[in-house]
Chain A
Amino acid sequence: MADGPAVDHEVSAHSQGSSTGAAEKVGKFVGRIRGGHKAQQQSEYKTDVFKRNFFLTDEGSTQEGVSNPNRDLWRNKEKKAAPHEWVQFSDESRGELSRFLNDHLKNIQDLRKKSGFIPDEDLELLKLFVGDGAKPELDETALTDSITDKLNDPRGWVLGMERYRDVQMLKRLALGARTFTEIESNHVYGIGKGTDLTMEQVDREGFVHKFGREKVMPNWEDIRDFVAKPGVVLAGTAATWALANPALAALWPAGAFAHSALDSGQKIRDALKPYSDAFKVVVADKKMAQYVKDITGGRIDPSDYKVNPTTGTLELDPDKPYYTSINVESVVNDVKKGQEALNRFNRELGIKDFHASPEEFIFRIATGKSAYVEPAPTRYAKRIQDIMDTDPKFKIKDRDEVEGNLKKYMGARRKVMMEMIEDYAETIVKEEADPKSSKVNEKIAAREKDGRVAKKKAEELVKSKERLAEDKTKILDVKTELTSYEAALEPLKTDREAIKTILTDVLRGAFASPEDALVALEKLTNDATSKDSVIINGRPQRPIAASLHENDGWLEGELSKIDAGGGPWAKRPGEKDTAYQERMAGAYTAKSTEHKRREDRIVSELDVIDGVVEKIKAAQQKITKSKEELSESNQQVIKMAEVTKRMEDNHTKIIKWAIAGVDDNALRTLSPDELLEKLNKANSKNKAVGWKSEDNESRRQELLDAIVEAQALNQESLDPKVADRKTNGYNALHGNAAGQYGLSDHMLMTSSVAEIRQHIDDVRAARPTAYNVLVDSSIANAIAEAKNRLRVRVQAFGAVDKVFDKKTEELQGKIEKIPEAFKDELDHLRTVSTLIERRRTGISDKVFGITASPKELAKYTSVDAIPKIGGEYTAAEVKAAAPAGYYEILDLMFDYKNGFKYKITNKDGAEEEVHETREDYFQRIQKLLPPKELAQLMTKSLSGGKNTTDDINKALQYISSRLGKRQDTFRDLRRAFRDTIDTLYKQTGSID
């Protein structure tokens, strides 16, 4: 015991310092050294030759000579050490483990330096090989020396190989299906070649079947299909009993995958699921994911994977190019090499090829057990051997008595099988059954009033409604930008209206522009030569510049005539001087009065003319001022231009994603949430389309813009004049193509025809041939269209608002009628629930009677048409137009002819019984299991996928023929129903 305390100290440190599996294992084997093998000295402890029981217990191991034939290894949980045997690992194993440890320890040393996540198992490894206190890190040479030293210690081998296996497993997980298609070539090969993971050939055939295949070739397919299922071909050992039940298969690590693999591609995928589940854990755990990336030198990056939200399966992230970080080939090579190393290690330990590690992992995951699983199938094979060795009933006495010995061997297998099943059944009895029924019923309850899913749905709908209210506010804000601009245009509009009124009402439309009017009006007063009158307020206004001058001349002339005294102004005979002077004074006064009257009239006319001129000029000044206020630098102008351009641009962008189903009609009729769902869905398939749901919040405004623009475009399309205005004016002035003027909507809206005419003339004067000629009517069209564009966009907000109101109402309606949202799901779930509930008493217990009675078989497989009249079948059944056997099978499965009763919680929270009529019930179950589906599922199961048909008539004939000729039995029929129900149950997996 001189060296004992040192060992004890180690044990204590390990067992107390950590609760990890690795530490326990170290403690366990050192414990064995202490307790069971005290004779072994420290000198033996540090060597390259080790006792085999450092590595193995006898439980389940297959080393010859280890077993105690009197001990019941299968059932007895006693763990005793194996007899002493010596193991010396080869240079290849030592070299491979050293290489691995070198790389791995370097990686985890680095991880420790940067405080990365390190699993307990690696900490244990570091403790042993590097130390955890004074020497936190070793340089390359020291590390190599430490590894060499510690591999003279069995603990180094145990911990090292444990980690080797674990890293090997992580690589396998990352490879997924490729593990099976490429790695297990010594075990199963051919999977994946050609079609979807089908099995082409299996090696390790038993001699009997090899003989059979060679000699009975014509029947080989059948034989192979048959014998393959029990696993005979694969194992060639006792592991041959049927593993049809995946749950039972889990008890048989070596056979589980093989059986599934042989069965069908689907089962392979099922078998891979635990693999995928295990890696899902790694993907989801950021620390662990980083660890995997670090310890594989970045060659495996779990972030390349994501969980498909619909199927729950693990997939390479479609957003990343496949295998960006996984160097698949190098990982495959690593795993192959690693597998060889593990096989060699096991062989050197005395274990047969370690060919079952993937299946073992599945076993561990599937059963939730973390205990070490030894190489299989040794444990069970050994139990058979034990029975044959110890039970007189199965003991072989005469080695040449082949038939008897074979029966004994089969008998022993039967016995082991029953033992295994009993053990498995005990776990079921202890409440560990797969909760199929509970799961389905929980899902049903979740969808009823106040159930988990119903509440969640209600919350989602309420949130959607709230978002819609927020959207209404958002579009109102945008609308305000446009209406504010519109308001700013009002003074200008008023001024232009004032001028227009003068031109049309006062001047009776004689002038196209105020400028023309001013010229004409000014001519009336300034141009003495002008003879053109102007109609003002309906009266022709003659030119008055000449009249004023003429009036003065007229008075002079008239006075001169009086002064000349001739004619009426001559002194009359007998007229007294005073009378004559008085008469002359009167004449002067009259002429003067007349002159004044004429002058007053002219002045009055001048006032009228000047009044009009002043009005025009005042309006023109106002227009100039308003236009100055509405310059391009005005914020309202800038905002309007921004908003309208943004709406157009966002609409153009989104409408391009027609593949997402977001067209103008969708934009006008769906809610933003409904549209976003489409965009997100399309983006998950093609990232060039739409955007991710995470971006919905930040990009929502883009969608709202597109929605308003779509409404505006729709309103434009309803106006027949829009096209003409665009073609004849707007495009030429607004467009930027060659020959077009590129005037903004704002410029068009704030300019008069004359102003634009002037602009055109100026532009053309500089480059006459570069620009199109436009008549005034086209300019007017352009102005009108610019104004129309703004107007319809403002109006579009109103239309959007109405749609949002309608959607809000719809959401409210859905909130109030939540259960209806789940009708399809509830129909599916209730139908499957019925099948689960009825399977034993309704189906399984009747299959024997069906196959044993030709009359019964004929009833269920009848291809006769059902009577359309007479009332035997309901209208829905007649409409289904299926053969009679279909209805009988459905009745067997669902008892539908008696209708269906179930309980629901009504809106008042009370339990209420619902009675579904035969017809309604038929319609519900037919939706889940229409003739095609039933035909497919049943024939797929019965024929092993070889004669699957969706033709119900052919399917019924197939079933009838197979059962009638006893090619299939009632067991097969029951399995077909079970598989059908399992498939329908699995479909509920997509319902959360």
Chain B
Amino acid sequence: MKNITTLDILKTLPFEEAFKSNLLDNFEKFSPDQQYAIEDIIWDTYDSLCRLKIEENVELAMQKAKDKQEVLDQGFYDRIKQQTEKELEDNFTIAVASADLSETRDALQDIIKTNSSKKN
């Protein structure tokens, strides 16, 4: 399986595009200290988003439980957490793939633009 890198994660995070591009484009130019700190930010942000999602799903499940649509048994928390983790992982790999595709598409567009300008 392909490894997913820190910069892959950055690509999936819902930052403002300009901000994200700045980080991606300049990452290697940052000092080692900056890179180290930004790496933590990226991972902590992603981690926080995941936890927020789990929290959201726990609360939603609690609401469902009030309407008897969810069982409040001993496995409640693990169940919700694992479902959310799977959902997150699936979405994540799709998002990474999509980001890769997007990059490829951008690169292709650049080539097309360059070629067309050459033709002109």
Contact = CB atoms under 8 A, between A and B. Distances in A.
Contacts of A247: 37, 40-41
Contact of A208 (B22, B23, B62, B86): B62
A240 B52 CA distance: 8
A845 B40 CA distance: 12
Contacts of B56: 406-407, 410
B36 A418 contact: no
B23 A425 contact: yes
Given A421-B41, A839-B39, A845-B3, A428 B59 contact: no
Contacts of B4: 845, 848-849
Given A433-B34, A433-B36, A974-B43, 4 more contacts: A227-B58, A410-B53, A428-B41, A438-B31
Contacts of B44: 242, 244-245, 248
A403 B33 contact: no
A245 B35 contact: no
A323 interface: no
A906 B22 CA distance: 41
Interface stretch (A24-32, A211-219, A301-309, A934-942): A211-219
Ranked 4 nearest A-B pairs via Cβ: A242-B48, A433-B37, A849-B3, A845-B5
Interface in B57-83: 58-60, 62-63, 72, 74-78, 81-82
A226 interface: yes
Contacts of A431: 31, 34
A428 B13 CA distance: 18
B48 A244 contact: yes
Contact of B6 (A227, A245, A840, A853): A840
B77 A219 contact: yes
Interface string B17-31: 001001100100011
A429 to B, nearest CB: 7
Most B CB atoms within 10 A — which of A418, A436, A841, A978? A418
A429 B30 contact: yes
Contacts of B85: 966, 969
A429 B42 CA distance: 13
A403 B39 CA distance: 34
Contact of A248 (B41, B49, B50, B89): B41
A530 to B, nearest CB: 111
A915 interface: no
Contact of A230 (B3, B35, B46, B51): B51
B52 A230 contact: yes
A422 interface: yes
Contact of A418 (B14, B26, B50, B78): B14
A975 interface: yes
A433 B33 contact: yes
Nearest to A241: B48
Contacts of A418: 13-16, 45
A845 B43 contact: no
A407 B4 CA distance: 28
Contacts of B46: 971
A765 B52 CA distance: 105
17 contacts: A208-B58, A212-B62, A223-B58, A229-B51, A245-B40, A247-B37, A406-B56, A407-B56, A417-B52, A418-B16, A422-B16, A429-B23, A429-B30, A438-B33, A837-B32, A844-B6, A853-B1
B106 interface: no
Contacts of A974: 43
Interface SS of chain B? helix
B15 A211 contact: no
Nearest to B44: A245
B95 interface: no
A425 B19 contact: yes
Nearest to A437: B32
A434 interface: yes
A438 B55 contact: no
Contacts of B118: none
A219 B79 CA distance: 11
Nearest to A846: B3
A444 to B, nearest CB: 13
A970 to B, nearest CB: 8
A240 B59 CA distance: 13
A510 interface: no
B47 interface: yes
B38 interface: yes
A263 to B, nearest CB: 14
B43 A978 contact: yes
Contact of B47 (A212, A242, A413, A846): A242
A694 interface: no
Contacts of B119: none
Contacts of A438: 31-33
Interface in A219-262: 219, 222-223, 226-227, 229-230, 232, 240-245, 247-248
A240 B48 CA distance: 9
A549 B59 CA distance: 144
A428 B47 contact: no
Interface size class of A (residues with CB under 8 A): 35 or more
Contacts of A971: 43, 46-47, 50
Contacts of A2: none
B19 A422 contact: yes
Contacts of A749: none
A360 to B, nearest CB: 22
Most A CB atoms within 10 A — which of B13, B16, B37, B53? B37
Given A244-B44, A418-B14, A232 B1 contact: no
A849 B73 CA distance: 33
Most A CB atoms within 10 A — which of B4, B14, B32, B82? B32
A422 B33 CA distance: 18
A579 interface: no
A836 B32 contact: yes
A852 interface: yes
Most A CB atoms within 10 A — which of B23, B49, B52, B81? B52
Contacts of A966: 82, 85-86
Most A CB atoms within 10 A — which of B14, B48, B78, B81? B48
B41 A424 contact: yes
A969 B46 CA distance: 12
Contacts of A223: 58, 77
Nearest to A970: B4
Nearest to A837: B32
A424 B41 CA distance: 9
A414 interface: yes
A507 B74 CA distance: 115
Nearest to B75: A219
Most A CB atoms within 10 A — which of B14, B39, B86? B39
B52 A410 contact: yes
A574 interface: no
A414 B14 contact: yes
A321 interface: no
A846 B41 CA distance: 17
A869 interface: no
Contacts of B55: 227, 230, 232, 240, 410
Contacts of A846: 3
A840 B16 contact: no
A244 B47 CA distance: 9
A391 B49 CA distance: 20
B44 to A, nearest CB: 4
A429 B40 contact: no
A429 B22 contact: yes
A849 B1 contact: yes
A978 B46 CA distance: 15
A219 B76 contact: yes
A213 to B, nearest CB: 11
Contacts of B72: 215-216
A848 B52 CA distance: 20
Contacts of A848: 1, 3-4
A435 interface: yes
Interface string A64-99: 000000000000000000000000000000000000
Contact of A436 (B33, B38, B82): B33
A984 to B, nearest CB: 14
